[in-house]
């Protein structure tokens, strides 16, 4: 494929972002348009699947058109379409998949069905852009590559020997790290989406104020974040002098600002250390040539600092606009599907896979 230009349009709709990106040759970011229905969910404290699905229906066509225009492309320039077919909310995935299937048929383009979680990792292959305001990685990751996935739905470690040749080392057995951030945010009364708000408040707190437990897992590389969430709840109840019968929604009104900040900082430290500890074990066992991080929580400064302290490797991070859900990561992975001659999907039959694993 060297020397041949491959331009892929990637469609992502697995949660509350309707996102479309255009990527050339797996490394050149040409557009990245994200429409989020997050503000509509904020009043409910989390994503409402029906609202997300309806928002995707309204946004999908305009976002595709905007992504093409921003990439200075017409459909003639697009060589293939890639779409997230899982994992995610089924009603949300359906809109992206049906749009991609329809376009693949009427525009006569090959269609690639892409795994959302692997897409987060492949955002790290973007090294150049025609767009303003992006801080791009200097070079593409080398194999073997250790991938750390930290998002609202996933916490995973995987080792890639080559494109499409990877082993999942471990994953969360219950909540994902982003989900734990969001739940802790709720306990201390911070608005949805919680992760960014917890990390902001943590800056005012003492991260050694409280000792929260790290889960011990049977699987060397597995995670669990539900225990720490419950520990935060008990800690908050204790701090206001109440027992476990106090409903969690009454807590935030009773905690003072310093207590909230100390809880945020203590939780964030332990959650980040949990990821970094396991990443170090994997680094020592597999001696990767590169380590990459993907997913919304990759934006977290404490996690970045913690990994820098723990690993004997300096990680190149993604631009914040490429950490959370986006279409560019799907387009980037789609390019590799095409360039590495992976099987295309049948546009007449491709189904969603809400519980898709790696």
* Total interface residues for ligand KG4 by CB under 6 A: 20
Q: Which residue from 299, 329, 331, 332 is in contact with ligand KG4, where contact means CB under 6 A?
A: 299
Task: Work out whether 239 is an interface residue with ligand KG4 (CB under 6 A).
Answer: no
* Total interface residues for Zn ion by CB under 5 A: 2
Mode of pairing for the β-strands spanning 155-162 and 145-150:
antiparallel
| Interacting partner of 103 out of ligand KG4, Zn ion, none (Cβ under 5 to 8 A depending on kind) | none
| Alpha carbon 193 to chain centroid, angstroms | 13
Task: Work out whether 119 is an interface residue with ligand KG4 (CB under 6 A).
Answer: no
Nearer Cβ to ligand KG4 (88/347): 88
- Give CA–CA dist 356/343, Å, rounded: 17
Coil, strand or helix at 261: helix
| Interacting partner of 299 out of ligand KG4, Zn ion, none (Cβ under 5 to 8 A depending on kind) | ligand KG4
Task: Work out whether 262 is an interface residue with Zn ion (CB under 5 A).
Answer: no
Q: Which residue from 151, 237, 290, 326 is in contact with Zn ion, where contact means CB under 5 A?
A: 151
Q: Which residue from 91, 96, 153, 334 is in contact with ligand KG4, where contact means CB under 6 A?
A: 153
User: Which neighbouring-strand residues pair with 21?
Assistant: 10, 32
Task: Work out whether 16 is an interface residue with ligand KG4 (CB under 6 A).
Answer: no
Q: Tell which residue, 292, 283, 304, 280, has the closest CA to residue 121.
A: 292
| Sequence-ordered list of residues with C-beta below 8 angstroms from that of 41, at least 6 positions apart, any chain | 16, 47, 48, 51, 52, 192
- Token digits for 246? 């106090």
Q: Supply the angle between the helices 257-286 and 226-239 in degrees, to the nearest 10.
A: 160
Site string for ligand KG4, 194-233 (x = CB under 6 A): xxx--x----------------------------------
Q: Which residue from 324, 327, 334, 347 is in contact with ligand KG4, where contact means CB under 6 A?
A: 324
Task: Work out whether 319 is an interface residue with ligand KG4 (CB under 6 A).
Answer: no
- Give CA–CA dist 302/241, Å, rounded: 30
- Give CA–CA dist 195/48, Å, rounded: 18
Nearer Cβ to ligand KG4 (28/196): 196
Cβ atoms of 24 and 5 within 8 Å: the answer is yes
Q: Which residue from 182, 222, 262, 273 is in contact with ligand KG4, where contact means CB under 6 A?
A: 182
Q: Which residue from 175, 222, 319, 325 is in contact with Zn ion, where contact means CB under 5 A?
A: 325
Task: Work out whether 25 is an interface residue with Zn ion (CB under 5 A).
Answer: no
């Amino acid at each position: 494929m060297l020397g041949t230009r491959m331009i892929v349009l990637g469609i992502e709709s697995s949660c509350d972002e309707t996102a479309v990106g255009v990527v050339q040759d797996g490394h050149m970011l040409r557009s990245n348009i994200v429409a989020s229905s997050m503000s509509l969910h904020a009043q409910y404290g989390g994503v409402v699947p029906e609202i997300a699905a309806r928002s995707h229906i309204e946004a999908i066509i305009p976002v595709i058109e905007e992504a093409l225009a921003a990439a200075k492309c017409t459909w003639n320039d697009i060589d293939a379409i890639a779409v997230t077919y899982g994992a995610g909310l089924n009603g949300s995935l359906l809109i992206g998949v049906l749009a991609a299937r329809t376009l693949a048929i009427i525009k006569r383009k090959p269609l690639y069905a892409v795994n959302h979680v692997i897409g987060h990792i492949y955002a790290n292959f973007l090294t150049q852009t025609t767009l303003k305001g992006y801080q791009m990685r200097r070079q593409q990751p080398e194999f073997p590559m250790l991938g750390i996935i930290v998002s609202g739905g996933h916490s995973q470690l995987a080792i890639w020997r080559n494109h499409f040749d990877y082993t999942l080392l471990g994953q969360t057995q219950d909540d994902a790290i982003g989900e734990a951030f969001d739940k802790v945010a709720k306990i201390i009364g911070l608005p949805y989406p919680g992760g960014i708000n917890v990390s902001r408040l943590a800056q005012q707190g003492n991260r050694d104020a409280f000792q929260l437990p790290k889960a011990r897992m049977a699987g060397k590389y597995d995670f669990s974040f539900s225990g720490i969430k419950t520990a935060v709840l008990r800690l908050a109840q204790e701090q206001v002098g109440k027992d476990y019968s106090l409903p969690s929604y009454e807590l935030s009104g009773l905690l003072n600002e310093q207590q909230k900040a100390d809880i945020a900082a203590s939780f964030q430290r332990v959650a980040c250390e949990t990821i970094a500890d396991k990443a170090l074990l994997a680094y020592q066992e597999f001696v990767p040539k590169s380590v990459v991080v993907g997913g919304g929580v990759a934006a977290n400064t404490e996690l970045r600092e913690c990994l820098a302290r723990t690993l004997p490797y300096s990680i190149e991070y993604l631009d914040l606009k490429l950490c959370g859900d986006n279409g560019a990561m799907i387009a980037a992975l789609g390019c590799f599907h095409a360039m590495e001659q992976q099987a295309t999907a049948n546009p007449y039959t491709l189904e969603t896979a809400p519980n898709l694993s790696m």
